[in-house]
Amino acid sequence: MTSFPWPAAAATGIGSMPGTDIVEAQRIVLGELPDLPHLPELPARGPGADMIGRGGVFLTEMPIELYAARWRVAARPGHDLRVARDLLERDLDAMTERAGDFEGTFKVQVPGPWTLAASLGLPIGGQVLRDPGAARDLAGSLADGVRAHVAEVQARLPRAKILLQLDEPSLPAVLAGRVPTESGFGTLRSVDPAVARSALSAVITAAAVPVVVHCCAAAVPLQLLREAGAVAVAIDLSLLHDLDPLGEQLDSGMGLFAGVSGRTAAVQADQVRDMWRKLGFSLKVLPEQVVVTPPCGLPEEAKVTAVLTSVREAGRRLTADLG
């Protein structure tokens, strides 16, 4: 039987949350998601706290800057990158203060190489994704930064087991050639699956901890992610229209972070159970292989405590009526 790097009947958040108070956000996460807490991300704080700005902090020898309200690769580190680094440092300090003695599995999130390549601009114009050499350099730079980041988190949480989440919302579009050009009048060429897998594998290997890849888009390349080394995939169940590819990967031992959006914990748990039954798997392994989550990051209007309480209760309901 496959052993998964999280406790049975666990629930967690995807990462981003409303608000600007990181200490309060970390307190809420630890209180509502005690089995699998995570480091909150608060993009409402502005540039540098957003996913791409945060991702730039993890790029070694590839500084980024804001230009015309968009992030691009820069010639040298500047004010924008210092702001992003300072925000991350504050987040890590809050994590250390609140979770320094935590002894379970703790999750942190980092943007994946292909989402960064599709979003970051080149100094000469256009996205990094348009230049295969630049995209390759970005993946290597991110791998180095992820290695250092995970090591720092582990040093700050010495009793915890670290789980890394790579956020790759742009990956399906990258593979399908659907990423719009900077002008918006065209699309960039598709990336070969072998190239995409290699870059992801480099980052996953560098992390040296279990990695779950999150993608809140349709047509998630599940087999590619498993072959790249991901132990689990985090997806929005409402976007899943063909169960067979997921069933194949789950049958091979991959974990699932199931994004649910029902109004109650009972409805959310039923969504997961119904999917599991349709796949023909035993309910006995369901609580071990599946983690319940919101479908994506929480929007500004979300009632955070209620949402997290609901997914926690849904996760625990998966242990009921086994057989």
* Domain annotation covers residue 226: yes
Q: Specify the 3-state DSSP secondary structure of 308.
A: helix
pLDDT range class, residue 272, cuts 50, 70, 90: very high
The strand pairing partners of 235, in sequence order, are 258
Kindly report the pTM of this predicted structure.
Answer: 0.96
Q: What is the pLDDT of residue 182?
A: 85
What's the whole-number mean pLDDT along residues 9-31? Answer: 97
Q: What's the sign of the alpha-carbon dihedral 186, 189, 193, 195?
A: negative
Encode pLDDT of 156-176 as tens digits.
999 999 999 999 999 999 999
The strand pairing partners of 258, in sequence order, are 235, 292
Residue 256: give its domain's CATH number.
Answer: 3.20.20.210
* Domain annotation covers residue 285: yes
* Domain annotation covers residue 143: yes
What's the whole-number mean pLDDT along residues 227-238? Answer: 97
pLDDT range class, residue 320, cuts 50, 70, 90: confident
Q: What is the pLDDT of residue 300?
A: 87
Rounded to whole angstroms, the Cα distance separating 289 from 236 reads 16
Rounded to whole angstroms, the Cα distance separating 61 from 214 reads 26
* Domain annotation covers residue 323: no
Encode pLDDT of 62-85 as tens digits.
999 999 999 999 999 999 999 999
Position 245 pLDDT exceeds 60: yes
Contact residues for 92 (Cβ-Cβ < 8 A; gap 6+): 39, 152, 153, 156
What is the residue whose two structure tokens read 């229209």? 241
Q: What is the pLDDT of residue 323?
A: 45
* Domain annotation covers residue 17: no
* Domain annotation covers residue 65: yes
What's the whole-number mean pLDDT along residues 223-250? Answer: 96
Q: What is the pLDDT of residue 90?
A: 98
Position 227 pLDDT exceeds 90: yes
What's the whole-number mean pLDDT along residues 124-130? Answer: 95
Rounded to whole angstroms, the Cα distance separating 166 from 143 reads 11
Question: Is 99:30 a contact under the CB 8 Å cutoff?
Answer: yes
pLDDT range class, residue 193, cuts 50, 70, 90: very high
Amino acid at 195: V
Rounded to whole angstroms, the Cα distance separating 240 from 25 reads 30
Contact residues for 255 (Cβ-Cβ < 8 A; gap 6+): 4, 6, 212, 231, 232, 233, 289, 290, 291
* Domain annotation covers residue 124: yes
* Domain annotation covers residue 72: yes
Q: Specify the 3-state DSSP secondary structure of 251.
A: helix
| Domain carrying residue 108 | 22-317
Task: For the chain, give the mean pLDDT.
Answer: 96
Q: Specify the 3-state DSSP secondary structure of 71.
A: strand
Q: How many domains is the chain partitioned into structurally? A: 1
Q: How many CB atoms lie within 10 A of CB 28?
A: 20
Rounded to whole angstroms, the Cα distance separating 222 from 31 reads 32
Q: What is the pLDDT of residue 322?
A: 54
Burial class (CB in 10 A: 0-12, 13-18, 19+), 126: middle
